[in-house]
Each structure stands twice: as structure tokens, then as C-alpha cells.
Homo-oligomer: A and B are copies of this chain.
Amino acid sequence: MTFVTTAAAEPSPSAPRRARGEQTRQLILETALRLFRERGYAETTMRAIAKEAGVAVGNAYYYFDSKEHLIQGFYDRNQAAHRAAAEPVLTGETEFAARLRGVLHAGVDVNEPYHSFAATFFKTAAEPSSPLSPFSRESSPARDASIAIFRDVVEGSSAKLDPELRKELPELLWLGWMGVTLFWVYDNSPEQRRTRRLIDGAVPLIDRLVALSRLRVLRPALRQILALIESVRRDD
């Protein structure tokens, strides 16, 4: 079985030990994601992945703890793509609203091709104990990277806002982004237009709220909100 079946990275026996394993891992991941895209998540069997990749079923389990774990690779990729797609806005725009809007739309753009099957495996991410949950320990690198985008949104903007709020805002915006994503998953309007409308409608509201945060009169209300967040976050 040494003839070339695909042009893709087939592990070459000549490669050094470490690299060889990494090659196999990538091959399995690539194959899996391709099949997920082509047939959907549930319809893709581990046997099919293994066969298509030219390895034994057990080998896939040597590199990935479970079928679900293959999805993590998808997340990592999408996260990087979001960052890249947001880059122009983050370097070009200075107004808070425009930055936020651009970043959110970039996120939707990046996800768009996967909408149909993202919904299919979204369920696995929703389980709190799942490593795929956006709040899980295993997701924390991807999560931190995602929050970093929103920190960039805030810090690179010309908007002046309450310093307390400034500290919390990136994480709150990320949470909002999770909300948008949740909405997006459920949104089956053509081209997910409702999600776009949600973004376009919500961003000005958020912008106005954020601007209001500096008003002396609203200080107590803001403190109350921040205190609530703090108290809810506390884990006891």
C-alpha cells in the first residue's frame, strides 16, 4: 500500500519520528474536516474517515480521543480565520462602533460556509462538560485568542469610557459574540440575514450605552451592573 492516493500530506516513512506522527495527525484531521463538510458531521463515520485517510480506525483514536475532538481542529482554524478577517477593520477603523461592527461581521463571514453543518455538531459544544464547550478548560486557548480580538476592538478605538468598564468590556463583548453565534446557529433565514440585522441593530445601541457610561448621573447604575457581574462571576 505505498502507491500515492492523494496529493495531500501522506506520511512519508523517511521523515523523522516526531514529524511522521504529526503528519498522520494532520492527514486524519484534514480528511475528517473534508468529509464533515461534504457529508455532514453525523453522516461521517469514523470508519469512513479512517478508510479515506488510509489508516486503521484505531489510529484515529490514537491521535484524537473521540470523534468530537476532531471538531476542536475546526474551531482553531476558524478562530485564526476570524482574526485575519478582522485585521483590516482593526487597523483601518478608529471608531468604536465601526470596529465592533466590522469584527462581528467578519466573524459571521468566516463562519458562513459552515452554517449547515455547524448546526449539526453545535450540540456537542453545548454540553457543559464537553471539552468543546467555549467555556471549557480545553477551549481556553481559543477563547483567550477570541477575547483578545475584542480587547483590540476596545483599546484601538477612539471612544472614551469609564476605566472600570474598559477593563470588563472585552470579555462582555466576547460574551455578546457568543450570543450572536448562538443566534446564528438557529438562524436559517437566507444567508443568515437576521443575524446581520441583529448585529447592525445592536451595535449602535451598545455604542450609545458605552458612551453613556461616562455620565456622572449614570455612575451608580453602572457600578451596580459591574457589581452584579463581579458577584455572578465569583465561584462560591
Instruction: State the A residues within 8 Å of B (CB).
Output: 119-120, 122-124, 126-130, 133, 135, 185-186, 188-190, 193-194, 197-198, 201-202, 204-205, 208, 221, 224-225, 227-228, 231-236
Main secondary structure of the interface of A (DSSP, over half): helix
List the B side residues contacting A205 at CB < 8 Å: 224-225, 228
Most buried by B among A130, A190, A193: A193
> How many chain copies?
2
List the B side residues contacting A235 at CB < 8 Å: 189, 194
List the B side residues contacting A133 at CB < 8 Å: 186
B193, A236: Cβ atoms under 8 Å? yes
List the B side residues contacting A234 at CB < 8 Å: 194
> What distance in Å separates the Cβ of A20 from its nearest Cβ neighbour in chain B?
36
> What distance in Å separates the Cβ of A205 from its nearest Cβ neighbour in chain B?
7
B127, A119: Cβ atoms under 8 Å? yes
List the B side residues contacting A228 at CB < 8 Å: 197-198, 201-202, 205
Complex CA distance for A202 and B228, rounded to whole angstroms: 8
